[in-house]
Every structure is written in structure tokens, then in C-alpha cells.
DNA sequence: AGTCATCTTTGACATAGCGCAAACATCGAC
DNA sequence: GTCGATGTTTGCGCTATGTCAAAGATGACT
């Protein structure tokens, strides 16, 4: 298996690993193509592998007992995901669904302890990564606790623009198919409300919508909305 | 410094550490008494130490730019807190306030890497701990996204009863001073709404309130409320 | 005992945003 | 090009909750 090392190197989790160890690590990996709409793993399934996204885009979702769905996070190229076993779970807490054609590296979870034993730094950096996710989660909790829907949506869109934005003409295109429903599930609201908000924004020239499309025209304007303390 | 090893042993983070290493670890600790109402550290301050709560109770809070406060979590005896540096932050993301007279062990953050180097397992178990917190955060996000206030409050109270409950007569007493405002900040609502909800519950004989007091009389009844899918 | 600072309760009112429903747009398949 | 599936927009009414306000409780301090 021949894998480009540069992408792997670029992610903090591996940047300090020796070249030999990295080769060994990659040697155990299997790469897997995932067509859009297909799941890499399902919520509740045994956590047999952990993954690194090389290309494409995934959304990790959870479904509540009563059938409601939320988007836990979006996985971008270079992100590690399906970490469950390392966090002492035996099953995946969510479903990872490809929203665009994707390619992921897969390792059997059993290998994780070995890699950590051989390379203690790995555990440290992994912990930092998780720590970052924890912070993001707290940010989200803070927003949901204190901000009204429009500001939350503004923040979510800005984050997407940062993480998955591609310059396009006057604005920034969100670089994967995303529906109002998705945005609703990321911000804790309904697709109706999101639709209304985006329509209003479109009226003000802040964004430009479309079926599963979003183009941000005025980042500053959006940021103002997101930060603006209503007076 | 003489410290009782049994409590420290009982927490997962240290259960696999050798006796010699544990002694060394504890040898570097300083214990600190924190009177109720005083902060162990403040949001934004340089993360000079990390801590282990031996006795008492803390709440970790964050304040938003516009002055709103939320409670990130409650720290119980045996919990590690003020972890910031291990997660690659240089400052504390929140304030840790003693809600009851407390005693904490303190280590300088610089020691963390040493301990990890000497004891790689430590990093693994630490990561598991953080992973658990991440899950809790996601649970909270899920609840805030999909459940109405009353159910969220029910869940929060049940959690408190589990983690800080002391049997008392017919019911379970929440074992530290907690205000309606606190519960509101844990569930993303206002103290008014919490007060109304608790009053209603009191009417149904589920709980018994009081100034900064809460006694749960009917755990099952509350659980029913928490799980009940409204039909 | 009395005073004060904090909490708590409750009422009245306002409204954000949800649920429901129906029309409309877009895209891929045939 | 037509059709069907899937996503989007928009109107309308409703209600859960926030906001504002004021009146009790409770407990600490002197």
C-alpha cells in the first residue's frame, strides 16, 4: 500500500512521529473509498477500526431514542475519526456518513495501544486533539445556552466557511453539499427557521443559497451578526 | 506532605500507576484549602497548576463576552480539574469556584509531561477521562437541541442526584448548596423557568425545594419525566 | 431581634421560533 | 423532455419560554 505521507504528516497527531514509525503505521492501514451517501460506520456498531480522512467530507450524526437527529461534527480531510476505542468505548457513538465521495485510511482498533506504546508522544498529541474537540463542544453549549437562533446559525456558517470554504468569485463557497436540514441539526433548530434566516440574509446580500449549496458573500457582515450584542 | 492514598487510587487516572510512582506523584503535590465562594482559578488566568479535588464541591463556569454565565460542569471529590495545559492551552478556559468548603491537591503543570513520560499509561487513561467528558458534552448538546426545558432540568437533577446525592429519609438530598440560577445555567434556561418547574414538581410530590437546597423525593417519577416521549 | 443581602416565587406580558401545511424549485433518471 | 424524489420557501397560528416587575422567604451578621 503506497500512501502519500505529506497529508498525514501535516496533521498534528503525527507530526512528531519518526519516519520509521510513520511508515510502520501507514503499513498497517487500508484505504477505503466511500461513495457519497454511504456510511463509514453506524452508531452503535462495534468499534473495529479507527480512521483518517484523506479526501472528501463526512458528517457524524447521532440519533436520539425518539428519532431526532443531530450533527455532532463535520469531518474534514486530515481529521481523525471513529476514535471510540481509544476513548474506552466498544461501539461508535455516532454514524459517519459521507456527504461527498470520500477516501479514508482504516486501522484495526487493536493496533492503537501498540502504536501508543511504541510512541508515547502519540497519546499526548491525541489527547490534545480530543481536548480541542471538547472545547468546541463547550463553545457549542455556550452558544446554545445564550444566543438566539440567528446568531448560532451565523457562527455555524462562518465555521463552515473557515473549514470548508473555497474562494469563488466575490465570495466563499461551502465546498460540499449541505442542506438547510443539516444546518438546523448543527445549530439545534428546524430547517424552516434556517430557511427563513438564509432567505433574509440573501435579501441583505450576505449569502447566496441554492439546493444543498451555500455561498457566503459577506464574511464581515456575517461576523457582525454573529458577534453583535443586540442593543 | 502526608496524603491518603486510597482516594487517589480509586480514580481511574491513577489506578494503574505503580506504588513508587504514585508516591513520587503525591510527593510533588501541595494541598490547598478553598473556602466556599472562593475561586481555585479564574477564567483566562495562566494555567500554572492542575488539581485533584479531595473534598468539597466546585462549579466550573464560563462567562461569555456579553456577560452571560454558564456552568460547564460540577467537580466532585476524586475528579481531576484545571487540566488546561495537558490539552495544549496556556490559560484556564473557565473559573473553578468552590460552592462548599473544599480541599484540592495542586501540581505545577510543568510536571505533567514528566509524569506522562515516566508512566505512558497515564496518558492513555487521561485520554479516556477526557473522552468521557466529551461524551457528556455531546449528551448535553443533544438534550439542548432536541428536548424542551422541563426534560432537560429533569435530566440535570437526576445527574446531580447520582453524583452528589445523599440518602435522606424518604428521598435523596443534593449534597451541596445549589440555586435555581445554577440549575438554569446548567440547562440553558432562566432561573424563573427553573423555579416554576420545581414549584410544579413540588406540587406533584416529586421534589422538595428550599433556599439553595434540593431534595429529590421520587427518582422514578423524575426519570419518567426525563425519558417520557410526549405523545 | 432586627436588618440586609440573597434567593425564590409568582404574575402579566411579549415573542421567538416551532409545528403544520402547501406550493415551489432543482436535479437526476429514464 | 418528462417525471419523481428530494430539498426549499413561505404563511399562519400557537405555545413554550424569556422578560420585566414586584412581593415574599430565608439565613447571615451585628
Mutate to test the interface with B, among A124, A229, A231 (most CBs of B within 10 A): A124
- Considering only CA atoms, which of B126, B85, B11, B9 is closest in space to residue A87? B126
Q: Is the pLDDT of residue B123 over 60?
A: yes
Chain A stretch 162-191, residues whose beta carbon is closer than 8 A to a beta carbon of chain B = 185, 188
CB A130 within 8 A of CB B133: no
* Residue A32 cell numbers, joined: 477505503
Interface contact B44, partner A, CB < 8 A: no
Listed in order, the ranges of chain B carrying CATH 2.60.120.10 are: 5-143
User: Which residues from chain B sit within 8 angstroms of residue A111, using beta carbons?
Assistant: none
Distance from CA of B202 to the nearest CA of A (A): 25
CB B9 within 8 A of CB B22: yes
Interface contact B231, partner A, CB < 8 A: no
> What pLDDT was estimated at residue A128?
81
Listed in order, the ranges of chain B carrying CATH 1.10.10.10 are: 147-227
Beta-bridge mates of residue A70:
A62
CB A128 within 8 A of CB A16: no
Q: Which fold has domain B5-143?
A: Jelly Rolls (2.60.120)
- Considering only CA atoms, which of B211, B202, B226, B218 is closest in space to residue B178? B211
> What pLDDT was estimated at residue A129?
86
> Which DSSP category does B17 fall into?
S
Measure CB to CB from residue A137 to each of B141, B188, B227 and give the nearest one: B141
Strand C closer than 7 A to residue B181 Cβ: yes
Question: Tens digit of pLDDT per residue, chain A (231 long)?
Answer: 556 677 788 777 777 788 888 888 889 999 999 999 999 999 999 999 999 999 999 999 999 988 899 999 999 999 999 987 778 889 999 999 999 999 999 999 999 888 877 877 777 778 888 889 999 999 999 999 999 999 999 999 999 999 999 999 889 999 999 999 999 999 999 999 999 999 999 999 999 999 999 999 999 999 999 997 543
Judged on CB neighbours under 10 Å (0-12, 13-18, 19+), B195 is: middle
CB A130 within 8 A of CB B89: no
Asked if CATH classification 1.10.10.10 holds for the domain at A147-227, the reply, yes or no, is yes
Beta-bridge mates of residue B74:
B59
Report the residue of chain B nearest A73, measured CA to CA.
B138
Q: What is the pLDDT of residues A171-207, one digit of tens each?
A: 999 999 999 999 999 999 999 999 999 999 999 999 9
φ and ψ at residue B93, rounded to 5 degrees: -75, -15
Number of C-alpha atoms within 13 angstroms, CB side, residue B113?
Answer: 7
Alpha helices in B11-71 (DSSP H): 19-27
- Beta-carbon contacts of A51 under 8 Å, excluding residues fewer than 6 positions away, are A40, A80, A81, A82, A96, A104, A105, A106, A107
User: Which residues from chain B sit within 8 angstroms of residue A120, using beta carbons?
Assistant: 116-117, 120, 123
- Considering only CA atoms, which of B231, B198, B203, B205 is closest in space to residue B219? B205
Give, rounded to a whole angstrom, the gap between the first and last alpha carbons of chain A: 59
Mutate to test the interface with A, among B16, B116, B118, B138 (most CBs of A within 10 A): B138
> What pLDDT was estimated at residue A231?
36
Amino acid at each position: 500500500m503506497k500512501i502519500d505521507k505529506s497529508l498525514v504528516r501535516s496533521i498534528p497527531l503525527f507530526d512528531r512521529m519518526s519516519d520509521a514509525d510513520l511508515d510502520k503505521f501507514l503499513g498497517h492501514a487500508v484505504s477505503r473509498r466511500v461513495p457519497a451517501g454511504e456510511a463509514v460506520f453506524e452508531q452503535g456498531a462495534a468499534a473495529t477500526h479507527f480512521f483518517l480522512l484523506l479526501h472528501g467530507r463526512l458528517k457524524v450524526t447521532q440519533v436520539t431514542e425518539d428519532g431526532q437527529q443531530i450533527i455532532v461534527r463535520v469531518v474534514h480531510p486530515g481529521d481523525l475519526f471513529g476514535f471510540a476505542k481509544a476513548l474506552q468505548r466498544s461501539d461508535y457513538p455516532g454514524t459517519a456518513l459521507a456527504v461527498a465521495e470520500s477516501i479514508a485510511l482504516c486501522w484495526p482498533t487493536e493496533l492503537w495501544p501498540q502504536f501508543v506504546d511504541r510512541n508515547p508522544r502519540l497519546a499526548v498529541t491525541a489527547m490534545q486533539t480530543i481536548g480541542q474537540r471538547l472545547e468546541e463542544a463547550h463553545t457549542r453549549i455556550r452558544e446554545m445556552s445564550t444566543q438566539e437562533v440567528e446568531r448560532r446559525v451565523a457562527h455555524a456558517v462562518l465555521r463552515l466557511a473557515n473549514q470548508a470554504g473555497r474562494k469563488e468569485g466575490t465570495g466563499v463557497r461551502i465546498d460540499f453539499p449541505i442542506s438547510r436540514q443539516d444546518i438546523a441539526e448543527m445549530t439545534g433548530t428546524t430547517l424552516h427557521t434556517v430557511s427563513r434566516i438564509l432567505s433574509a440574509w440573501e435579501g441583505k446580500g450576505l449569502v447566496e443559497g441554492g439546493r444543498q449549496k451555500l455561498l457566503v458573500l459577506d464574511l464581515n457582515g456575517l461576523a457582525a451578526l454573529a458577534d453583535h450584542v443586540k442593543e
